[in-house]
């Protein structure tokens, strides 16, 4: 019989356990991700395929890989 102690599982923090500064940072980052993804989606929908590096079918799912997809599209995916 083993007396090994199982490591305790790390409990998720509740929203109320975060400091006001941490809550503000989380809200800001979440809002930034939504705005950035929305902007990239609108740009992808309006931009002609000839002005893209790659296809729209490639970039559409890539936009939902957070946080890198929208940034990659805006920096690498568009021909300007």
User: How confident is the model at residue 41, as a pLDDT?
Assistant: 97
**pLDDT at residue 1 is higher than 70:** no
Q: Kindly report the average pLDDT of the chain as a whole number.
A: 91
Structural domain total, the chain: 1
Question: Is the residue at 8 inside a domain?
Answer: no
Average pLDDT of span 10-39: 94
User: How confident is the model at residue 7, as a pLDDT?
Assistant: 66
Distance (Å, whole) CA 28 – CA 79:
29
Question: Is the residue at 16 inside a domain?
Answer: no
Identify the DSSP state of 19. -
Distance (Å, whole) CA 20 – CA 7:
30
Question: Is the residue at 37 inside a domain?
Answer: yes
Closest CA to 40 of 70, 1, 2, 13: 70
Average pLDDT of span 30-59: 96
User: How confident is the model at residue 80, as a pLDDT?
Assistant: 76
Question: Is the residue at 64 inside a domain?
Answer: yes
Band of residue 9 on the pLDDT scale cut at 50, 70, 90: confident
| Structural domain boundaries, residue 30 | 21-77
Question: Is the residue at 7 inside a domain?
Answer: no
Question: Is the residue at 4 inside a domain?
Answer: no
Average pLDDT of span 40-67: 95
């Amino acid at each position: 019989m083993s007396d090994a102690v199982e490591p305790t599982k790390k409990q998720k923090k509740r929203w109320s356990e975060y400091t006001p500064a941490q809550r503000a940072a989380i809200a800001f980052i979440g809002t930034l991700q939504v705005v950035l993804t929305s902007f990239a989606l609108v740009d992808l929908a309006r931009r002609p395929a000839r002005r893209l590096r790659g296809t729209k079918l490639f970039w559409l799912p890539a936009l939902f890989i957070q946080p890198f997809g929208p940034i990659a599209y805006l920096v690498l995916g568009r021909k300007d």
